[in-house]
Chain A
Amino acid sequence: MPTLTSSSVSVDAVMLESRAAALAKRSIKTSAKLEGITLAIRCIDLTTLEGKDSRGRVRSLCAKARNPRPGWPNVPSVAAVCVYPNLVPVAKEALRGTPVKVASVATAFPSGLSSLEVKLADTAAALASGADEIDMVIDRGAFLSGDEGSVFGEIAAVKQLCGSAAHLKVILETGELGTYDNIRRASDLALEAGADTIKTSTGKVGTNATFPTALVMCEAIRDFARRTGERRGLKVAGGVRTTKQALTYLVIVKETLGDAWLTPDRFRIGASALLDDLLMQLEKEETGHYAGTDYIPKD
């Protein structure tokens, strides 16, 4: 069983934000922009997490995930499709024979306020339906009330259930944690408990992924790699809509963690609308002009 270390390094908000702002000013042009856009597409977890999600909706999304821009052979498929557990079988079926993975949110997403038994059952159901990846949420209430042991224990238990076959992403819901110190602490805790990837947000609260949040989480991942030699992943999610944002996240990962993290194995962007903007910017880079929005498949 993994164990929890007693403290985390502290984070100075002013300097963290100024470093993130400096990284956001990197100028990504021409060949770098083209490469960045393609890389960003490869790292997308194309997501639909709405109460009205249906089989038809998920099938459409899967079609777009495997081939985002028909007729453009250079456009890769995305990394995964992310859905609620009930829809995992539909996605699995639609993506059969493709490299696109199926990720499922679990553990009483998005609040995480159920018993461990329910969370484990939720996870087990998603796995049994064929989910390749589990996006679990932590119990923020427990974390904020100081019960780190219970948060740690839940992550470790879910990881045990996932085993080595399924990839576990742990959602910290950074928008609810209040301080960068808390985000750093939750990151360390999740990594030590066995998270394969730490993820910013559910997309269901007011504040989702931000540049400073991604930076502080990268620092936790980098320090974990330095301590243990293990390279864990980062997923930013919620509010990532533009190519400029996506490229900035790639810059933050590149300059904090290094090129070894610029792969869908270690970096993901959870998004839905982002893909359309990436496709539009890609076409602009390749042809020199913007296509109308109706040239981009809407799904």
Chain B
Amino acid sequence: MAIFDYAPAPESVRPQIRDDYGLFIDGRWSPPASGAYFETVNPATETTLARIAYANDADVDRAVRAARKAYDKYWRKLKPADRAKYIYRIARAITERSRELAVLETMDGGKPIKESRDFDIPASAAHFFYNAGWADKLEWIMRAGREPQSLGVCGQIVPWNFPLLMAAWKLAPALACGNTVVLKPAETTPLTALALAQIIEEADLPPGVVNVVTGDGTTGAALVEHPDVDKIAFTGSTEVGKMIARRLGGSDKRLTLELGGKAAHIVFADAPMDQAIEGVVNGIYFNQGHVCCAGSRLLVEERVHDEIVVRLTERLQTLRLGDPLDKNTDIGAINSRAQLEKIEELVRSGVEQGATLVQQQCDLPSRGFFFPASFFSNVHQSHRIAREEIFGPVLSILTFRTPDEAVEKANNTPYGLSAGVWTEKGSKNMWVAQRLRAGVVWCNTFNQFDPSSPFGGYRESGFGREGGVHGLFEYLAH
């Protein structure tokens, strides 16, 4: 019999969720022109949480016109210090309502409450605080003689893995630089973006400065193709990112893309092994692996391969999978049925191609979309699981013999968003980091984020940076 088993510790706060959500356009909530609604479900229970307005071309057009009017009439003329006041107000409101927002994020998206509570929501507030501070200091980041100029109306399309945080990453610098925004949250996770719209309404932002249109890829496409949008910022799959890039080719719209990844996580034999294992676990199982910068390709020095497999197999068994609202849950629900099916398909391909599958031994809840923490050993560069982004709690372990070979294998991917290196030897750490073609390289750590630190990809992981001064530049004419 197990000793000292943790009793259920469910988060008790229940956020208010309306039955129906309209579109937030020009400072008002309105029904969609389409008359159509779609449902958003809790992936841990498969129950419907709310009905969400489906925005069509006409709705998107109305939102863009509201954003244009707000830009021309008010926002671009506002004193930068006054812009900052509004953004600080949003930041404070997120902090004040953090518990409610965390529960909402977990219910709508399936991520463990400890992650939404300790990461998503505080980091979202931090991005608003950070960018608010820059609003009246932008001249200091310009080249001598250049004035900071806003771009105009920005169309921002965010994914379902960090719904509120991705909205914050995009909204905060856009607003700080004096732009107005039409935001489109992901179809499966609109609730925190809509809660943010409520916060923006209560913060008394001028109507039309931020508009939220909900819908699917068609809604996003309407926003991308709208002639009066000055910039598109997209975070999501490489496939959709390529589509957007093709559609915008030849237009004068600015574009930043933050796309997929298949990050190499390199562990040398001289690594601090226990902490490296924790880094690997955090790197791939954080948010069920629904992380574009997840360390999904573990490259280990061949001489410690067996030891790492043993340690990781043991560690998997201590991960707690289950109710995302339980404060002790480490692995929550997969975001949607479609994503679960994609993960299952790729895992089958791994088994069929001859890799060895190791999984956490646990009972999956009878309802909801769940997948156990898993890893493959005996993976080779030619396997699909070594090349394609799985976007789930599935790690592929490959081996290398020398630092040169580690770098070569790490870079042998069309992606280049992030990478990690574990070794106690500082010179080796720097030598490898310099040669990795990835936007972020974490040395003896993984998944560290800060509003002041730029984030973005190489090659098919996209272009443009979010966060820090670099992130502000993306919303300024320069």
Chain A positions within 8 Å of B, measured between CB atoms, are 9-12, 14-16, 18-19, 25-33, 35-36, 39, 216, 219, 226, 250, 254-255, 259, 262
Contacts and interface: CB of A to CB of B under 8 A. Distances in A.
Nearest to B270: A10
B272 A31 contact: no
Interface in B404-446: 424, 444-445
25 contacts: A9-B273, A10-B270, A10-B424, A11-B274, A12-B275, A12-B445, A15-B272, A15-B445, A16-B275, A18-B278, A25-B114, A25-B118, A25-B327, A26-B327, A27-B9, A27-B327, A28-B7, A28-B9, A29-B7, A31-B7, A32-B5, A32-B6, A219-B274, A254-B3, A259-B4
B270 to A, nearest CB: 7
A268 to B, nearest CB: 16
Interface string B349-373: 0000000000000000000000000
Contact of A32 (B4, B118, B271): B4
A281 to B, nearest CB: 15
Nearest to B446: A15
Contacts of A35: 3-5
B43 to A, nearest CB: 22
For the complex of A and B, 9 pairs with smallest distance between CB atoms:
A15-B275, A27-B9, A27-B327, A12-B272, A12-B275, A32-B7, A262-B3, A30-B7, A259-B3
A16 to B, nearest CB: 6
B287 to A, nearest CB: 15
Given A10-B424, A15-B275, A16-B274, A39 B327 contact: no
Q: Which of A11, A12, A259 has the most C-beta atoms of chain B within 10 angstroms of its own C-beta? A: A12
Contacts of B179: none
Contacts of A226: 310
Contacts of A25: 114, 118, 327
A252 to B, nearest CB: 11
Contact of A12 (B4, B6, B444): B444
Given A15-B278, A27-B327, A39 B445 contact: no
B190 to A, nearest CB: 29
B2 A26 contact: no
A187 B5 CA distance: 28
Given A10-B270, A14-B444, A27-B9, A39 B3 contact: yes
Interface in B268-322: 270-276, 278-279, 310, 318
A17 to B, nearest CB: 10
A262 B328 CA distance: 19
A26 B276 CA distance: 22
What is the predominant secondary structure among interface residues of chain A facing chain B?
A: helix
A57 B122 CA distance: 50
A118 to B, nearest CB: 37
Given A29-B9, A255-B318, 17 more contacts: A9-B273, A10-B272, A10-B424, A11-B274, A12-B424, A12-B445, A14-B445, A15-B279, A15-B444, A25-B114, A26-B327, A31-B7, A32-B7, A33-B7, A35-B3, A35-B4, A226-B310
Nearest to A32: B7
Contacts of A32: 4-7
B275 A36 contact: no
Contacts of B5: 32, 35
Interface in B224-276: 270-276
A16 B6 CA distance: 23
Given A15-B279, A15-B445, A26-B328, A36 B273 contact: no
Interface in B102-149: 114, 118
A26 B273 CA distance: 23
A226 B274 CA distance: 14
B330 to A, nearest CB: 9
Q: Which of B114, B272, B310, B445 has the most C-beta atoms of chain A within 10 angstroms of its own C-beta? A: B272
Nearest to A25: B114
Contacts of B424: 10, 12
A19 B278 contact: yes
A229 to B, nearest CB: 15
Contacts of A27: 6, 9, 327-328
B273 to A, nearest CB: 5
B7 A11 contact: no
A258 B3 CA distance: 9
A36 B310 CA distance: 29
Nearest to A40: B4
Contacts of A15: 272, 275, 278-279, 444-445
Contacts of A250: 4
Nearest to B117: A25
A11 B327 contact: no
A10 B271 CA distance: 7
Contacts of B271: 10
Given A29-B9, A255-B318, A11 B275 contact: yes
Contacts of B327: 25-27
Given A10-B270, A29-B9, A259 B444 contact: no
A36 B4 contact: yes
A12 B271 CA distance: 9
A31 B5 CA distance: 9
A38 to B, nearest CB: 10
